[in-house]
Structure 1
Amino acid sequence: MGNTGGKREGKDPGGPLSPTKETPSTFDFVHGKGGILQQASMDDSLDLPPGTLKEMLNRQSELPDQRMRVKMMESPGMENKHSPVVFKWEGGGKNVFISGSFNQWTSKIPLTKSHGDFTTILELPEGDYQYKYYVDGQWQHNPKQPTKANEFGAINNVLKVSKTDFEVFDALAIDSSTSGTKQRNLSGSPPGSYGQEIPTREMQTNASGPPFLPPHLLNVLLNKDVGAQYEPTLLPEPNHVMLNHLYALSIKDGVMVLSATHRYRKKYVTTLLYKPI
């Protein structure tokens, strides 16, 4: 057993509660002497009535739900999704900053000037926030946005970030990722199996060759019947792919007919050339 060299100094309210470099605390053991090791309690150091600190600790232990919520919020494995929020200041100025409860009012975030306005985009989690603008050394709130007076009577802008407000962005992100996956899975080659075997001659002869004319050019305008709704001298409106092509009709009675259709603004003109054979 032993006694401390500064046990009585612990009773001094102005003394430190724990050992420091300036006031070291050591234990001196003296043989042959019996004693009781004493330490100043926090009740004595803080000049509190006896049992006050114990009662405060008991009250803290009666709030398990609150401690559990704080523990869950501080857990690194807990996913806390952030959403982009645009802040815009239209009141002029040279240097504009923003600060709010989203950063505990500890720092000023600069805004970027664009076409006379100042904007910035912050990633914020879901919740309610208060913020204010710092314009040329003065705190100002935006009168065009919702406001609220805090406990000190100052007027701040308020903002509520809800997950439902960003469902469109989530849907677009999912759609873009899905389309990107589909594009990566698709290739430019036609479907089917591939190998190193050369096709036989029979397979080459049975394969159909390319058409003599594209299908849209086989529909000759002069071979169409003029409907009852058109005048006899008018032809139906041609397709745009039929313009600027020379057509030859079948030879009848020793005469070959050539035709070409051109467009002049909103009108179509078809020219016919008759050549005897």
Structure 2
Amino acid sequence: MMLVAVYFSVISDAPLPRPGQMMQVQNDQPVQNTSYYEDLQEEKRAVMITWCFGGKRVAITGSWDNWKTREPLHSLGKDFIIMKMLPSGVYHYHFIVDELIRYAPNLPWEFNESGSAYNVLDLQEFVPEAPESLSEFESPPSPISSYDNQPLNDGDFSRPPPELPPQLQTTLIDERRFIIRSRKSLPRPSHTMLNHLYEQDGDDGQSVALCSTHRFLQKYVTVVLYKSLRR
């Protein structure tokens, strides 16, 4: 018997609504802004946001100003558009269509803690992940005197295998808190942990766990396979 567990960078337990589902405007505090920049001198980017699901009056509100203002969209044929200048960051927003809170299913969206859907605007600049220095992978050169032409003997084969590099000693499968935190976003793994296969025997000696982490653009996926040793 095998049990496979797949862990993504973002996990949500909220039910999935139908596309374009309407939610009545309430006085609940919306998602708290995590990307609001008070530094007006920061370079900004032009972003056009479009609503194409009908309505007579369409407005937008978002975390770029801590949900303080409601800006109307301009009608352009059957669509409504607005142009905004925003600094780099990740923003949450939703539309207000005829006094109903809506989200655009054709744009990136997520759930908040109360289970309501909102759109996500990601303006982060992509920086490829790379180690700052390769010195941690470099080993000191062996002394010249250690080289000879002697054939291998029994002592060479009886030596223990080399120790595991320190970069690979801490993995998600080794952390006891991993199971507890698995319902939330997992920590960002080190680049040295990617594309390796880890094995761990169960405490009862009756099972084994295999773990591997891979990167897809800016997302990380960890797969854990639990296998019973009993046939």
TM-score by length of 1: 0.31
More helix by share: 1
TM-score by length of 2: 0.37
Rg comparison, structure with higher value: 1
